[in-house]
């Protein structure tokens, strides 16, 4: 990668003259020199280990590779990094710095929906581009009619649709139960992310006439979840649908095991459940058979079914990520960081700069609304086409895709949609630490 990543308040230097370029007024700088792009993620605090660090690392690989391939007409992309420290107030302050002091036209990243909700209003007010590569709460965009906020990844309603459809499809054949007889329990962290997925789960269950016997929120920073475990035992749920980050998931699973909670299946919904390496380090074989809903990590897909050249791009990404971070099975957030950043660079930044000579937010917005990448055109298998202003989900990628994956000895394998997945293991087999007895 050209240059080196700075500290939180520094800048990646992308070639001779970058320091001089920074002193030039934005109106002039937009026509020459490096193309300055903000990348805001949580590099510290609890969100860092729950997927935000891999999100940033994936973006690093994307920008480095893009620069190696010539950038835009020889102009290099220059990262202006920001660590929101897993705190909403820090995210807001950093956004003010990036928009004000750094005079950026676009900021990418944003791991947490709790950050994305307040930030979206600020970017809309400033008429600058916010390009969300992770935060999935439907509430970030729904009925807001935002013009400058774009999300190429999935939204929380898609998570809910995937997990409930997966259970409904397999209940009879694998659980030996009519779908309407399956007892579902929904537990979730009480921020926008957890609340958004939980609301979607309730809607999907109602539509499929499935029974939710318990729906309860908790704080992601709660020091004790034993009462939640006790309630779940009392309700005798068959399937646990969990929405959480990394620390609270770890606490819940430990207390569930010690408290004797048993179930036929557990399905997570991104965030902490996407970090199979960390879960495996902590729980070993105890997480075998657990499921997670997320966009697919690229290594889970058959690259021959993607658009020409996309498989080669995925292969290059994996090689570079694995070499730098010693990860044999990079988490989904790494693919999200790379793929969603690459989509911005290739399908938004490049055409905007080629057309206008600069990267003003309105030029980027026009390019984003014109993006039309078919399904299979990205390393995660999705396409890119945004709902426009005046629609309920303005700024959302209408071609985003969520899958259900199942853990098997530290690896994640797609099990739904059935057309592209392998048969799931349901229920948890006898002898499993959490298997219903």
Question: Do the bridges between strand 403-408 and strand 291-294 make them parallel or antiparallel, or are there none, so unpaired?
Answer: antiparallel
The CATH-assigned architecture of domain 157-294+402-416 is 3-Layer(aba) Sandwich (3.40)
* pTM metric for this prediction: 0.80
Q: Are 305 and 414 in contact (CB under 8 A)?
A: no
Domain ranges for the chain:
18-154+304-370, 157-294+402-416
Give pLDDT, residue 31.
58
Q: What are the φ and ψ backbone dihedral angles of 9, each rounded to 5 degrees? A: -100, 15
Topology (CATH level 3) of domain 18-154+304-370 = Rossmann fold (3.40.50)
Give pLDDT, residue 1.
36
Q: Which helix (H) or strand (E) holds 115?
A: helix 113-126
With both helix axes pointing from N to C terminus, report the angle between 192-207 and 113-126 in degrees, rounded to the nearest 10: 110
Evaluated on CA atoms 153, 157, 160, 163, the torsion sign reads negative
Q: What are the φ and ψ backbone dihedral angles of 201, each rounded to 5 degrees? A: -60, -40
Please tell me if the domain spanning 18-154+304-370 has the same topology as the one spanning 157-294+402-416. Answer: yes
Q: Which helix (H) or strand (E) holds 407?
A: strand 403-408
Give pLDDT, residue 23.
37
Full 3-state SS string of 354-373: HHHCCCCHHHHHHHHHHCCE
Q: Are 101 and 125 in contact (CB under 8 A)?
A: no
Give pLDDT, residue 398.
96
Q: What are the φ and ψ backbone dihedral angles of 333, each rounded to 5 degrees? A: -65, -25
CA dist 235 and 241 (Å) reads 14
Q: Which of 206, 281, 295, 263 is nearest to 433 (CA)?
A: 263
Length of the chain: 437
Dihedral, CA of residue 131, residue 137, residue 141 and residue 143, to nearest 10 = 180
From first to last of its 437 residues, what are the pLDDT tens digits of the chain?
A: 333 333 333 333 333 333 333 333 343 344 579 999 999 999 999 899 888 999 999 999 999 999 999 999 999 999 999 999 999 999 999 999 999 999 999 999 999 999 999 999 999 999 999 999 999 889 999 999 999 999 999 998 999 999 999 999 999 999 999 999 999 999 999 988 899 899 999 999 999 999 999 999 999 999 999 999 999 999 999 999 999 988 899 999 999 999 999 999 999 998 788 777 788 888 888 999 999 999 999 998 889 989 999 999 999 999 999 999 988 788 899 999 999 999 999 999 999 999 999 999 999 999 999 999 999 999 999 999 999 999 999 999 999 989 999 999 888 888 998 877 889 999 999 999 999 87
Give pLDDT, residue 273.
85
Cross-strand pairs, 106: 129
**Alpha carbon 30 to its chain's center:** 30
Counting Cβ atoms within 10 Å, is residue 341 exposed (0-12), middle (13-18) or buried (19+)?
Answer: buried
């Amino acid at each position: 990668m050209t240059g080196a990543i700075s500290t939180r308040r520094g800048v990646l230097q992308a070639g001779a003259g970058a320091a001089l370029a920074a002193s030039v007024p934005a109106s002039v700088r937009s026509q020459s020199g490096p193309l300055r792009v903000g990348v805001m993620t949580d590099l510290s605090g609890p969100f860092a280990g729950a997927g935000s660090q891999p999100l940033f690392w994936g973006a690093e690989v994307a920008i480095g590779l893009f620069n190696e391939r010539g950038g835009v007409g020889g102009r290099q992309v220059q990262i202006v990094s920001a660590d929101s420290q897993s705190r909403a107030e820090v995210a807001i302050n950093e956004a003010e710095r990036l928009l004000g002091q750094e005079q950026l036209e676009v900021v990418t990243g944003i791991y947490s929906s709790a950050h994305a909700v307040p930030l979206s209003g600020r970017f809309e007010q400033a008429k600058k581009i916010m390009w969300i590569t992770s935060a999935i709460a439907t509430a970030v965009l729904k009925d807001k009619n935002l013009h400058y906020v774009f999300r190429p990844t999935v939204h929380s309603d898609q998570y809910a649709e995937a997990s409930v459809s997966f259970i409904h499809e397999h209940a009879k054949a694998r659980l030996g139960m009519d779908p309407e007889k399956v007892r579902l329990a929904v537990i979730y962290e009480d921020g926008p992310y957890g609340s958004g997925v939980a609301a979607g789960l309730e809607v999907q269950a109602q539509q499929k006439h499935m029974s939710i016997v318990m729906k309860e929120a908790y704080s992601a920073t709660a020091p004790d979840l034993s009462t939640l475990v006790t309630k779940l035992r009392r309700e005798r749920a068959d399937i646990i649908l969990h929405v959480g980050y990394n620390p609270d998931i770890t606490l819940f699973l430990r207390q569930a095991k010690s408290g004797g909670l048993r179930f036929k299946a557990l399905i997570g919904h991104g965030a902490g459940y996407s970090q199979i390496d960390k879960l495996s380090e902590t729980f070993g074989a105890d997480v075998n058979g657990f499921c997670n809903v997320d966009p697919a990590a690229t290594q889970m897909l058959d690259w021959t079914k993607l658009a020409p050249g996309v498989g080669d791009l995925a292969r290059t990404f994996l090689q570079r990520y694995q070499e730098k971070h010693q990860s044999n099975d990079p988490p989904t957030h790494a693919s999200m960081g790379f793929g969603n950043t690459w989509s911005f660079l290739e399908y938004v930044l490049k055409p905007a700069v080629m057309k206008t000579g600069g990267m003003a937010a309105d030029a980027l917005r026009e390019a984003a609304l014109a993006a039309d990448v078919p399904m299979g055109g990205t390393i995660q298998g999705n396409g890119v086409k945004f709902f426009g202003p005046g629609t309920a989900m303005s700024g959302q990628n209408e071609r985003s895709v969520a899958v259900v994956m199942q853990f098997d000895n530290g690896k994640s394998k797609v099990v739904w949609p059935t057309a592209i997945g392998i048969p799931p293991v349901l229920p948890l087999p006898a002898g499993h630490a959490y298997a219903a007895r």
